């Protein structure tokens, strides 16, 4: 098809929006919509190329994929190899192993599915240090390349040609409705899913199949339409992040606006806006857009990973380096590769697909069998890993459920003596992280504790979690079912103690109900939470057991891991207490609730690990140089053991002297 400079102008707008957004600048907080613009352009170009080839009876799948591979893969392969090299130099062992998993999936064009399963969402903070995160869109693009040509080819061959545009229009509408459904039911996942994005490509296909429009258009009206479309892009990009359930109606507006601009350039290239998009400096940025997209995120994410402060100078450096790398890869990789498009497909596939997959998978295997090569760093890291591994419980991770509804009776800690007292501990994943803490107390008190936990579940009777976690617009049924089983066990068994531990502040939003259809508000949640805890303590005491409430550890501060591991990444010494933080009690209401329950149930035992972790309002980020936290806030098995040991040194064992 004929070269369209205005399309490169559109690419320039798209990449600039993405660069501004990923760079953390405030101009366009929803600049990620640039990716939607790229998807529409891709759909238009793919369909135009295929349709023209079909009309001249010259279409070949092998030729199509050959050209696509030489267009995209050379720079993409360089990205994989360079990023793998850089992460091997700078990433900590666990991070390197996680990176290698993402590299494997990226080489297979499945990174969108990988990041969907391994992150809490595209916009979550932990994704900012994932150097291949941006490849989710390239994976979707390749998945579309596998699907869309077959679709267009099949419709062209098996339908009368006059019905081809209408059939694509109908499919686009169906795809959009399905995407909207995903946005409502899977808001945390829909961003990464091909079936939520396919309509964006199909809108581009619709534009490519628009019948010829008369050139006799009112230029003022055309410029007005184009101006509104362009304004729509910048307006939506300037909104506060339109995150939940995206792509949604905002994405539809972006795609329609992009389609309008492409249509104007196709049929009315003399319009002012089309000429504006065809200005050489804008077109030049558009020509660099693919390489800019490939390289920018690697630079931004590695700077964040190294905890380099994002000053204006650093941002200027990052953008400058991005443009330099983009120009070099465009001039010395992209352009020369275009001359190789006539290479036989078997050689193209072997060189650009099979070999990179093989190399990346072999590299990933070596990284994993060598545990991320910890010897790259000085001895302190080896000590940390040795201590963490020594105290790590292999059984603990198997004793937390979010899918199975069975009770795992093997999840025992504490005493193993036959004459030991019996206890049950229930809660969410933040009760599970006390595994070694309870093990220490249980052994000292001759108590065997059955540990049961459900992810993100408040294990109190008579309540449901609604519109919570992954369970949008529905109840968290697994949580409710297992909680019922726990209290049935309490009533049917003769436990000496029943322990409840939660990340209590996690459940103070408007997500707790007693019955479907209940009104929801924070005050109602607090009342229902109080009643449920009261009911739980009544059931426990009526069964003859002593109730135990365990408070949370100090809430982990933002960027705490960056603070602690920064000295290792930079090969520097660690200053003891360097990352300790001030205790912040975010919910005095909880403290009042616990004291209220203590007055009502004198036999209630309350254990507060913060009395050990925090001294005079200052909380430990490490114990003996070993980090307290292992992820978003759960403590390490090492920290749990040490906190338990220190607790017994400073306080009487509450499971003995109660």
Summarised one tens digit per residue, pLDDT across range 263-300 is 999 998 888 999 999 999 999 999 999 999 999 999 99
Q: Is residue 656 part of a domain?
A: no
Whether residue 394 sits in one domain with residue 348: no
**Using an 8 Å Cβ cutoff, are 242 and 254 in contact?**
no
| CA–CA separation, 328 and 320 (whole Å) | 12
Q: Is residue 544 packed enough to be buried (19+ CB in 10 Å), middle (13-18) or exposed (0-12)?
A: exposed
Whether residue 332 sits in one domain with residue 448: no
Per-residue pLDDT of 156-202, as tens digits, reads 999 998 999 999 999 999 999 999 999 888 887 899 999 999 999 99
* Mean predicted confidence (pLDDT) in 27-48: 96
Q: Is the pLDDT of residue 217 over 70?
A: no
* Mean pLDDT value across the chain: 93
pLDDT at 498: 98
The three-state secondary structure class of 449 is strand
Whether residue 409 sits in one domain with residue 335: no
Q: Is the pLDDT of residue 122 over 80?
A: no
Are β-strands 622-623 and 626-627 bridged in parallel, bridged antiparallel, or unpaired?
antiparallel
Whether residue 280 sits in one domain with residue 133: yes
Residue 613: C-alpha distances to residues 370, 503, 565, 650 (Å): 34, 16, 20, 12
Whether residue 88 sits in one domain with residue 45: yes
Whether residue 392 sits in one domain with residue 273: no
Instruction: Classify residue 128 by its DSSP letter.
Output: G
Whether residue 319 sits in one domain with residue 466: no
DSSP string of 183-250? HHH-TTTGGG-HHHHHHHHHHHHHHHTPPPPPS---HHHHHHHHHHHHHHHHHHHHSS---TT-SSHH
Four-point Cα dihedral 615, 619, 620, 621, nearest 10? 180
**Using an 8 Å Cβ cutoff, are 543 and 492 in contact?**
no
Whether residue 424 sits in one domain with residue 342: no
* SS3 assignment for 10-51: HHHHHHHHHHHHHCCCCCCCCHHHHHHHHHHHHHHHHHHHHH
* Residue 646 binned pLDDT confidence (cut-offs 50, 70, 90): very high
Instruction: Classify residue 351 by its DSSP letter.
Output: I
Last residue in a domain, options 313, 346, 374: 374
pLDDT at 657: 65
Per-residue pLDDT of 408-432, as tens digits, reads 889 999 999 989 999 999 999 999 9
Residue 559: C-alpha distances to residues 120, 126, 204, 305 (Å): 17, 10, 41, 10
| CA–CA separation, 18 and 297 (whole Å) | 10
Q: Is residue 578 part of a domain?
A: no
DSSP string of 589-637? HHHHHHHHHHHH-TT-EEE-THHHHEETTEE-SEETTEESBSSSSPBPH
Q: Is residue 267 part of a domain?
A: yes
> Smallest Cα–Cα separation from 354: which of 133, 69, 98, 111?
69
Phi-psi region at 617: left, alpha or beta (left = phi > 0; alpha = psi -120 to 50): left
Residue for token pair 């933002």: 558
Cβ contacts of 239 within 8 Å, gap of 6 or more = 29, 30, 250
| CA–CA separation, 630 and 430 (whole Å) | 12
**Using an 8 Å Cβ cutoff, are 300 and 22 in contact?**
yes
Whether residue 417 sits in one domain with residue 331: no
Q: Is residue 627 part of a domain?
A: no
Last residue in a domain, options 348, 374, 400: 374
Whether residue 339 sits in one domain with residue 213: yes
Which residues is 512 bridged to in the sheet?
A: 465
pLDDT at 214: 66
**Domain extent for 604:** 386-554+587-614
Last residue in a domain, options 374, 403, 428: 374
| CA–CA separation, 603 and 646 (whole Å) | 24
Any idea what the CATH number is for the domain that residue 525 is in? 3.40.50
Q: Is the pLDDT of residue 125 over 60?
A: no
The three-state secondary structure class of 626 is strand
Q: Is residue 245 part of a domain?
A: yes
| CA–CA separation, 326 and 283 (whole Å) | 14
Per-residue pLDDT of 316-352, as tens digits, reads 999 999 999 999 999 999 999 999 999 999 999 999 9
pTM for the predicted model, two decimal places: 0.84
DSSP string of 470-509? TEEEEE-HHHHHHHHHHHHHHHHS--SEEEEE--GGGG-S
Bond from prior residue into 247 cis (ω within 30 degrees of 0): yes
Whether residue 428 sits in one domain with residue 532: yes
pLDDT at 558: 83
Give the count of domains, the chain.
2
CA 484 to chain centre: 32
Whether residue 486 sits in one domain with residue 420: yes
């Amino acid at each position: 098809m004929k070269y369209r400079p205005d399309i490169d102008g559109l690419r320039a707008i798209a990449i600039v929006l993405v660069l501004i957004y990923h760079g953390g600048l405030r101009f366009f907080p929803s600049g990620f919509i640039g990716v939607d613009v790229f998807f529409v352009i891709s759909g238009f170009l793919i369909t135009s190329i295929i349709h023209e080839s079909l009309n001249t009876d010259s279409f070949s799948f092998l030729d199509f994929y050959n050209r696509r591979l030489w267009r995209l893969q050379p720079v993409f392969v360089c990205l994989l190899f360079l990023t793998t090299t850089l992460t091997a130099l700078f990433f900590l062992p666990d991070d390197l192993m996680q990176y290698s998993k993402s590299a494997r999936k990226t080489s297979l064009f499945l990174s969108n599915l990988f990041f969907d399963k391994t992150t809490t969402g595209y916009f979550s903070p932990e994704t900012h240090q994932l150097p291949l995160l941006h490849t989710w869109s390239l994976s979707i693009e390749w998945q579309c390349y596998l699907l869309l040509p077959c679709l267009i080819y099949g419709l062209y061959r098996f339908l009368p040609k006059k019905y081809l545009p209408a059939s694509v229009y109908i499919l686009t509408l169906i795809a959009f409705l399905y995407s909207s459904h995903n946005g409502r039911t899977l808001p945390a996942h829909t961003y990464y899913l091909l079936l939520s994005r396919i309509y964006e490509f199909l809108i581009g296909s619709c534009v490519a199949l628009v019948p010829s429009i008369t050139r006799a258009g009112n230029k003022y009206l055309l410029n007005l339409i184009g101006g509104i479309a362009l304004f729509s892009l910048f307006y939506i990009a300037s909104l506060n992040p339109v995150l939940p359930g995206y792509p949604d109606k905002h994405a539809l507006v972006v795609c329609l606006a992009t389609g309008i601009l492409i249509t104007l350039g196709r049929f009315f290239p003399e319009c002012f806006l089309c000429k504006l998009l065809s200005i050489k400096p804008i077109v030049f940025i558009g020509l660099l857009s693919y390489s800019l997209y490939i390289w920018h995120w690697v630079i931004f994410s590695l700077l964040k990973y190294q905890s380099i402060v994002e000053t204006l100078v650093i941002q200027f450096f990052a953008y400058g380096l991005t443009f330099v790398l983009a120009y070099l890869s465009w001039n010395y990789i992209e352009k020369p590769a275009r001359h190789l498009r006539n290479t036989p497909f078997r050689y193209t596939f072997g060189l650009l697909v099979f070999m990179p997959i093989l190399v990346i998978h072999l590299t990933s295997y070596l990284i994993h069998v060598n545990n991320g090569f910890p010897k790259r760093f000085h001895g302190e890291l080896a000590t940390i890993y040795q201590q963490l591994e020594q105290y790590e419980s292999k059984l603990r991770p198997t004793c937390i459920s979010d899918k199975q509804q069975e009770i795992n009776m093997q999840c025992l800690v504490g005493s193993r003596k036959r004459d030991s007292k019996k206890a049950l501990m229930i809660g969410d994943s933040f009760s599970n992280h006390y595994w070694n803490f309870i093990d220490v107390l249980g052994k000292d008190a001759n108590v065997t504790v059955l540990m049961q936990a459900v992810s993100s579940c408040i294990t109190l009777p008579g309540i449901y979690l609604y519109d919570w976690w992954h369970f949008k617009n529905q109840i968290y049924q697994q949580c409710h079912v297992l909680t019922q089983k726990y209290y049935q066990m309490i009533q049917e068994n003769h436990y000496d103690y029943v322990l409840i531990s939660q990340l209590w502040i996690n459940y103070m939003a408007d997500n707790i109900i007693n019955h479907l259809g209940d009104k929801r508000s924070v005050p109602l949640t607090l009342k229902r939470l109080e009643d449920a805890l009261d009911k739980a303590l009544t059931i426990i005491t009526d069964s003859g057991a002593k109730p135990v409430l365990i408070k949370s550890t100090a809430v982990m501060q933002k960027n705490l891991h960056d603070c602690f591991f920064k000295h290792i990444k930079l090969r520097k010494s660690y200053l003891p207490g360097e990352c300790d933080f001030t205790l912040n009690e975010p919910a005095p209401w909880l403290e009042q609730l616990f004291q209220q329950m203590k007055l009502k149930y004198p036999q209630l035992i309350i254990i507060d690990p913060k009395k050990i972790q925090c001294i005079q309002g200052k909380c430990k980020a490490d114990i003996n140089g070993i980090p307290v936290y292992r992820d978003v806030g759960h403590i390490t098995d090492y920290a749990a053991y040490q906190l338990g040991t220190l607790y017994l040194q400073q306080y009487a064992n509450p499971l003995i002297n109660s």
